[in-house]
Copies of this chain bind each other. A is one copy, B any other.
Amino acid sequence: MSARIPIAVRDRVSDRAKKALDVVAKFVEEDCIPADPVLEAQIGVGDARWEKHPPIVEDLKKKARSLGLWNMFLPKGHYQESPGFTNLEYGLMAEWLGKSRVASEAVNCAAPDTGNMEVLAKYGNEAQKARWLKPLMEGEIRSAFLMTEPQIASSDATNIELSIQRDGDEYVLNGQKWWSSGAGDPRCQIYLVMGKTDPANPNKYKQQSVVLVPAGTQGITIHRMLTVYGYDDAPHGHGHISFDHVRVPASNIVLGEGRGFEIIQGRLGPGRIHHAMRTIGAAERALEWMLMRINDPRKATFGKPLREHGVILEWVAKSRIEIDAARLVVLNAAVKMDEQGPKAALTEIAEAKVLVPQMALTVIDRAVQCFGGAGVSQDTPLANMWAQIRTLRLADGPDEVHLQQMGRNENKRGKEVADKIGAQRDKTERLMRQYRASWAQPGSKIDRSKL
C-alpha cells in the first residue's frame, strides 16, 4: 500500500499512482491470492493441463479492467496506450503483483508478454503492431520469447545458433529452443524467435535477428515442457521446441537483420525491475506466512510458541532488513531508469538483478524451515515460490556472468584510484618532511650486527 512506500522515493510517486497502488494491493490481497488455488484446481491434471484456460483468470481480468488496472507496465511516454506510470510507480505495483500467481496476468502485466509488447511497441512496424501488439494489449492472446537453446551455453548469448535463412520472400528457421516460457499456454499465438541470419558476420553482435513466428506454423514441434523442481508451471510452461524448415514471410523480421542484440538489450532493463519487484513481493508474502506460523498457538514447541525462540526472531529481523535493503536497491534503479534511461542505469539494474533473488530465496527458505513439512508441500505457497525464484538466478544470465561484468566495470576505476592513492602517499611524504615527523616503526632500532 502507498503508506509503505520507502520514504526516500515516496514523493516521486504521483497521487494517481498512490491511488492505483492501493487498488492493486487490495485487488491482489482480496481477489488474486484467494484465486490462486482455484486457478490450480481449474488447470486440472495430466495432459489436460496444457489445454485449459482457467475461467477464473478471465473473471479477474474483467474485474481488473473495471478497476482501471491494465497494462500498467507500459512505461509513461513510451507508447500511447500507456496508462502513464513511471518505472518506479509500476515497480511498486509489481511488488504486490508478485505476491500472487495470477495477479500479473489478471492486470495484463505478465511476463513474457510485457517484454514482448515493449519490443513490438518500440521496434515493430505498423502491420506487426496491428497483428500482434493489439491483441496482446487487449489480453486476447499470449506470446513467448524464444532465445535459449539446449545444446549450447546460452548464458553467452552470442552462442545462440538457430538458423534463420532468407529464401526469397521468406525466412526459413531451423534449430531448437527451450525454456520458451509461456509456450505451453493454448492462447500463446506468437513467438519472438532469436537466431542467426548472418552467422559469418565478423562482429558477433551483428549475427542475430528476431523474427515473429506464429505458434501454429508448420515445422514447429513442441516436444515437452521443462519442469522447475518438479513443477510444470502449466498452463504457462517452459517449452522445448524444434524448428524444422519453418517458413515465415520476410516482413516478419523485427527492426531488421542483425539487430537481435539491440532488441534483447532494450527488452531487459524494465523486465529486470519488474522481476525484482515481484520477487520482493514474494519475499514479503513468505515473511507474512512465517509470522502466521510462529504465532500459531497449536505450533508451540518445548513449552513456548515459535515467536519466543530467539533464533526465529532473528530470522524475522534479518528478513525484514534484507527485504528492505533489496527494495531500496530496485527502486533506486527504477528512479534512475525513469530519469536517465536504462543505459545509464545499467549498474543499478544489475545490482538488483543479482541481489534480489538471493535475498528472496533466503527469506523463503527460512519460512519453509519454520513450517516444517508443510513448508515443502502443497499446503503453503512457499515451496513453489522458492522454485520459481530459483530460476531467476539463471534466467537472463546467471548471477556469475553479471558479477563478472560488474566487477570489470567497477575495475575501470582502477587506474584513477591508484593514481589518487599514489598522490595521497606523495603528499604524506611532503607533510612528513614539512612537519619534521618520522614514522615510528616497531623494531626499527634493532641492531643485530653485534651478534
Contacts and interface: CB of A to CB of B under 8 A. Distances in A.
Nearest to A32: B424
A50 interface: yes
A431 interface: yes
A394 B410 contact: no
Contact of A328 (B30, B56, B329): B329
Contact of A314 (B37, B288, B404, B425): B404
B424 A398 contact: no
A393 B394 CA distance: 25
A339 to B, nearest CB: 6
Contacts of A216: 448-451
A14 to B, nearest CB: 15
A127 interface: no
A292 B394 contact: no
A83 interface: no
A222 interface: yes
A229 B424 contact: no
Contact of A8 (B328, B432, B440, B451): B328
A220 interface: yes
Tell which of A302, A340, A407 has the most Cβ of chain B within 10 Å.
A407
Contacts of A398: 369, 372
Contact of A442 (B33, B151, B225, B410): B225
A45 interface: yes
B310 A226 contact: no
* Copies of this chain per assembly: 4
A444 B49 CA distance: 11
Nearest to A351: B321
A239 B444 CA distance: 10
Interface in A392-420: 393-395, 398-408, 410-411, 413-415, 417-418, 420
A249 interface: no
Given A317-B410, A376-B228, A376-B229, A440 B41 contact: yes
A298 B153 contact: yes
A152 interface: yes
A410 B225 contact: no
Given A298-B151, A328-B8, A421 B289 contact: yes
A446 B184 contact: yes
A383 B326 CA distance: 27
Contacts of A335: 7-8
Tell which of A159, A214, A227, A439 has the most Cβ of chain B within 10 Å.
A227
For the residues of A in contact with B, the DSSP-based class is helix
Interface string A284-318: 00011101101110111110001101111111111
A376 B391 contact: yes
A438 interface: yes
A84 interface: no
Interface residues on A, range: 35 or more
A298 B156 CA distance: 12
B428 A47 contact: no
A130 interface: no
A97 to B, nearest CB: 16
B442 A310 contact: no
Nearest to A331: B8
A77 interface: no
A34 interface: yes
Contacts of A447: 222
Contacts of A427: 30, 34
B29 A410 contact: no
A230 interface: yes
A448 B230 CA distance: 24
A424 B153 contact: no
B34 A431 contact: yes
A37 B448 contact: no
Given A220-B448, A229-B230, A230-B383, 6 more contacts: A8-B9, A34-B424, A51-B446, A225-B446, A311-B311, A372-B394
Considering the complex of A and B, which 6 residue pairs feature the smallest CB-CB distances, nearest first?
A230-B230, A313-B407, A216-B451, A225-B443, A310-B310, A224-B441
17 contacts: A8-B12, A34-B425, A35-B431, A38-B435, A55-B435, A153-B300, A214-B451, A215-B448, A222-B446, A227-B442, A229-B383, A291-B413, A294-B411, A310-B404, A317-B405, A318-B403, A324-B348
